Amino acid sequence: MAATSPTPALTAERILEATEEVLRRHGPAKATVVDVARALGVSHGSVYRHFRTKAALREAVTKRWLDRTSEQLSGIAAGDRDPEARLRDWLRALFDAKRRKAGADPELFATYMVLVDENGPAVTEHIADLTGQLTAIIADGAGTGVFTVPDPAAAARTVFQATGRFHDPGYAREWVRPEAEADFGALVELLLRGLSPR
C-alpha cells in the first residue's frame, strides 16, 4: 500500500492563498468562507480559528496584496545609491507594479478594488508605508544636497499625490494608453527638477 503524503498544516498563509484563488474564481460578492474552507479541504470552523470573521479574512487578504508592492519598493528605498536615481527607480517600480497587477490578472485586480474600498485602514497603512519610503529617499537627498527641501515628509506626500495618476487604481484604464509612458517620464523629470537645488 502506498503511503499518502501528510496534509500540510493549516496556516494563515495557506488560507490567504486559497482565499485569493476563491476570489479570483467567484468575485468578492459571491466568495464565502465556506468556499475557502472547501478549497482547503477543511471545515469553515478551521478557517475561523485563524480569522475570526469574514471581514477579518478579507482585510488580511487585502493587506497581503498591498504589502507585496510595499516589500518590492522597500529594497529600492533602503538602498545606498544616489537618492535621485533611487527616487526615479522607486517611482518607476511603483508604476510598473500597479500596471502589472492590473494587466496580468484583471479579474483579481477588479476584485481587489472592491476589497480596497471596504478596507480603509489597510489602504491608509499602505499609503503611510509608501510615503514613509519616499520620505527616506528624499531625506537622504536633502542630507547630501541632491535635493533642496525644507520638509522631506511634506515633499514625499506631494510627490506621491502628484504621481497618483500612475499608481492610483482608479486610473488603471489610462495606464495602457500609448502616451502613458511618455507622460510618466515627463512627470518624473519635472518632479526631480523641482526637488533639485536651483
Which residue, 36, 38, 33, 34, is CA-closest to 54?
Answer: 33
C-alpha grid cell, residue 182: 511618455
pLDDT band of 80, cuts 50, 70, 90? confident
pTM, rounded to two decimals: 0.83
pLDDT higher than 80, residue 169: yes
CA dist 54 and 93 (Å) reads 32
pLDDT at position 18:
92
